[in-house]
Amino acid sequence: MNGPILRTLAAGATAVILATASQALAQSAPAPASAPIPAAPGAPSVESTTIGDLMANPAAKAVLQKDMPQLVSYPGLDQIKDMTLRAISVYPEAQLDDAKLKAIQTDFNSAAATKP
């Protein structure tokens, strides 16, 4: 009598293990690190300038207001002020992909070029 019960339990455990292994294999590998986006001389950088420094810079803050208004009004801004835009780009809720980072950097570069 124990034989059929043990076989059923073993089959169930095997099914769970195989399902878990299949899910683990199906998950995609992490995206490769993106190439750094260069900043123009004198321009803030999406790679290395902290969000706190960007917010303290009127020209950079204006760029962020235009390109990422949700960041400027983010209630947890104080918690991420020591991070860069590149650093927060790993969080899906930041809605920052490489194209968006490049666009912001282009705007930072333009703002720096027009600075008196």
Tens of pLDDT along 73-115? 999 999 999 999 999 999 999 999 999 999 999 999 999 988 7
- Residue 73 region, left (φ>0) first, then alpha (ψ -120 to 50), else beta? alpha
Give, in order, the Cα–Cα distances in Å from 90 to each of 32, 76, 83, 86: 12, 16, 12, 8
45 occurs within a structural domain? no
Tell me the residue type at 66: K
- Cβ neighbours for 100, distance < 8 A, ≥ 6 positions apart: 67, 68
42 occurs within a structural domain? no
Range with the poorest average pLDDT among 6-20, 49-63, 73-87: 6-20
12 occurs within a structural domain? no
Residues spanned by the domain of 81: 51-113
78 occurs within a structural domain? yes
How many domains would you assign to the chain? Answer: 1
9 occurs within a structural domain? no
CA distance 36 to 45: 10
CA distance 29 to 96: 19
66 occurs within a structural domain? yes
73 occurs within a structural domain? yes
32 occurs within a structural domain? no
Instruction: State yes or no: pLDDT of 70 exceeds 70.
Output: yes
